Amino acid sequence: MKPVLVLMNGALRLDDHPALAKACATGAPVIPVFILDDAAAGDWKLGGAKRWWLRESLIALSSELESKGSALVRRSGNTLDILMALIEETGAGALHMTRAYEPHLAKLQDAVYDLAEELGVTCRRFAGNLLLEPEQVRNKTGGVYEVFSPFWRRALELIDGTTPTPAPEDIPAPETWPESYTLDLDPKPAHWAEPIAAFWTPGEAAAHERLADFLDGPVAEYKDMRDIPSVDATSRLSPYLANGEISPRRIWHEAMIARGEESAREKGADWFLRELGWREFSTHLLFNFPHIPERPLKSKFAAFPWREGYDDAVTAWQKGQTGFPIIDAGMRQLWQTGWMHNRVRMIVASFLVKDMLWHWRTGEDWFWDTLVDADLANNAASWQWVAGCGADAAPYFRIFNPVTQGEKFDPKGAYIREYVPELKDLPDEYIHAPFEAPVGVLKMAGITLGKTYPKPMLDRKAARERALAALESTKGE
């Protein structure tokens, strides 16, 4: 039988992998392939953090495949040229891949499909990275949902209890393997990945372990504790989902089993799955409004007078040197771990686009480069949500106060003390606003504002007034 090529891009796993499972079911030799095609990604070439993650994930995937008697063929370059060469080299009669929803990847997959047709190769595209396909969730008039709650209510009516397909016991191997190459996935600067590597273990096995640990414990407190950044109460599965190391259907299935009849566990699981729903919603938005990574969904915000480009103020925000502790803690957590707590993501984003009045794309670009869970749909939809210009967006006039947000969600300053250690000796009452602390208190804590810790980079009252005035300028649009 002619071999089946399985393009593993977007689904770096063996469990609940329809494209791989169907290939194995044919009984033909199966050749898993991963292609790094930076040129096809255009402006959305993988960021530094995700390149590191991908490197480690491919190592893990190769090991898993080898345990099944298989291997991973790795190539770098033009996807169409590489597939054409592999089809000729292996005599493959079929090509399977997992459906992508990002505009540039969907376009590339269309081209792959056309190439396969030209070569007389059967090409199949399988769902696998969403609970529901974008075409399935429509409102009563057949339109697209732009508000999350009705979207999720409809999705809950459609999601079925289909059991995910387990990883194949063995994967039929070809008589000879195509050559595989080392990919250039080293992050730059190289030392940046060292603290990230200490924090994360990429790969499918780690994803399943993380899910099991979460469902065994923290899920029961998820509803009440998910907004507290100093507590490990969230699943931290986002990078595994973003890199295709675990499927949302597997997470859904295991979470539904774990719900049980205990009230707290049931509520916690339901709130957790709701967050999975936000991921679905973001992808559905990107599919239906493919311009949202670059342009606002609400057209009136096209004229909004955001600042653009980069200067010292943006650098201070990126490095966690704004003088507002909860902002600085979040940005330093991002740099040190490649991840940031979701509540803090909202706070730092609000600060950039509303207090600093900087364009949301500036933050979108920084998150794309520094997050191990960088996802085009989530990133674009979330930044537009905070900026007030996206679907179901927070009203623009809702401007998070970093001091009161810190007091509410990090009341003892545990999160701040972990990531802004120069403030660790401040009393709780001043940890969120060291600029309000008496000189004597600062001296006892070993702090000199402007030297050991920055003075506030802006006057929040003036910043708020400036932001609201900017909003007024769009009212006539």
Catalytic residues: 275, 278, 306, 342, 360, 383
* C-alpha span between 73 and 291 (Å, rounded): 33
Q: Are 101 and 381 a contacting pair, CB within 8 Å?
A: no
Q: How much helix, strand and coil, in percent to the nearest 5, is found in the chain?
A: 55, 5, 40
* C-alpha span between 50 and 64 (Å, rounded): 20
Region class of 17: left (phi > 0), else alpha (psi between -120 and 50), else beta:
beta
Region class of 181: left (phi > 0), else alpha (psi between -120 and 50), else beta:
beta
* C-alpha span between 99 and 106 (Å, rounded): 8
- How far is C-alpha 305 from the chain's CA centre? 28
The 10 Å CB-count burial string (b at 16+, else e) for 7-35 is bbbbbbbbbbbbbbbbbbebebbbbbbbb
Do the strands 4-7 and 122-126 form a parallel or antiparallel pair, or are they unpaired?
Answer: unpaired
296 preceded by a cis bond (ω within 30 of 0): no
Does residue 167 sit in helix, strand or coil? coil
